[in-house]
Amino acid sequence: MNRRANLFRRGPLPARRPGPGELAEGLERATVLDRAVGAVQKSVQKALPAGPLRDTLNGVPFGHPAHPPLTDLPIGAFLSVALLDLLPGDRRATRTLLTAGLVGSLPTAVTGWADWSSLHREQQRVGLVHATAIGAANVLYAASLVARRRGNEAGGRLLGYAGLTTLVGGTYLGGHLAFRQAAGTNHADPVDHLVSLGWHDLCPLDELPDGRPVTRRLGYLSLFVLRTGEDVDVLTDRCSHLAGPLHQGRITYEDDEACVVCPWHGSTFRVRDGSVAHGPATAPQPSFETRVLENAMVQVRPAG
């Protein structure tokens, strides 16, 4: 009886190799990278201070981050090199594509560093390894170009495929940043899906302090509310950059317009309509129309 039972006894499960997603998650927790992250962040912020240039690199004028679309040129060029290396023919096109990919990597890197410097620490750890891998790939592609120009086509191909392998690893981490860690996506609450049409009671006007932002609830939403005299401006409270609490931010003025500065990463929004005055945020903050009834009740409805 015991012998038969032993035949069906389960032993310990075999060790499972971690997948690429789990390895990337390990980088999120790699505190050993923090010293390097801090040093690089200070250098980037010193080289790219807040201002019009930084806003452009973040993508504020375009309405979404500038870095992701710029990656298409170098990645496309380097993939084309790998395909051409499998075919016989004139190698001048290969060298031209290598040059285009390396040149296109420069603005891609600058915009990437601008975005990276305003991320959460877990994202920055992954981003630093991502940037290091992409940088290593560019070094290999540059060496490949030099070898080809010197007539060493075989060595150039080997260096090119080594660059492609490194590039694939780096771009995987870039995808992890964008899709798993949600860097660069819009973190503002989806008002259209959470608030029904029409006016909604918010709170009595006399409950709102004059000139100081507070937060109020509207169903599932947390709202940023700023009263100025008899006027009330209302935005969603979760910053569109990385969900920082706007009601904890400071009020400033841009061209005589009141703005709120996110306390986490400094994104600046006009309280009148939620438009972006300064990055790193690129998506506007959802705003609400307001009115005050005769009984002093403040009502809101989604703008536009």
Cα(42)–Cα(34) distance, integer angstroms: 12
Per-residue pLDDT at 9 exceeds 70: no
Query: Residues of the chain with pLDDT > 70: what percent?
Result: 95
Q: Under DSSP, is residue 215 helix (H, G, I), strand (E, B) or coil?
A: strand
Predicted confidence (pLDDT) per residue in 201-224, tens digit: 999 999 999 999 999 999 989 999
pLDDT band at 20 (very low <50, low <70, confident <90, very high): confident
- pLDDT, position 89: 76
Average pLDDT of every residue of the chain: 93
Please give the pLDDT value at position 4. 52
Least confident of 10-14, 99-103, 255-259: 10-14
* Strand, helix or coil for residue 11: coil
Q: Are strands 287-292 and 276-278 parallel, antiparallel or unpaired?
A: unpaired
Rounded (10°) angle between helices 153-175 and 72-84: 140
Query: Phi/psi of residue 288, each to 5°?
Result: -130, 145
**172, 164 in Cβ contact below 8 A?**
no
Task: Provide the pLDDT for residue 13.
Answer: 59
Report which secondary-structure segment, H or E, holds 39. Answer: helix 34-47
2 has pLDDT over 60: no
**Is the per-residue pLDDT at 10 higher than 70?**
no
pTM, two decimals, is 0.89
> What residues contact residue 71 under an 8 Å CB cut-off, 6+ apart?
108, 171, 174
HSE-CB for 183 with a 13 A CA cutoff = 29
Residues 143-160: pLDDT tens digits?
Answer: 999 999 999 999 999 999
Q: What is the pLDDT of residues 167-182, one digit of tens each?
A: 999 999 999 999 999 9
Is domain 191-302 in CATH 1.10.760.10, yes or no?
A: no
Distance in angstroms (rounded) separating the CA atoms of residues 119 and 122? 8
Q: How confident is the model at residue 88 (pLDDT cuts 50, 70, 90)?
A: confident
| DSSP result, 111-176 | HHHHHHTTS-HHHHHHHHHHHHHHHHHHHHHHHHHHHHHTT-HHHHHHHHHHHHHHHHHHHHHHHI
Whole-angstrom Cα distance, residue 73 to residue 42? 29
Per-residue pLDDT tens digits for 252-296: 999 899 999 999 999 999 999 999 999 999 999 999 999 999 999
pLDDT surpassing 70 at residue 12: no
Phi, psi of 157, rounded to the nearest 5 degrees: -65, -45
- Domain boundaries along the sequence of the chain: 20-180, 191-302
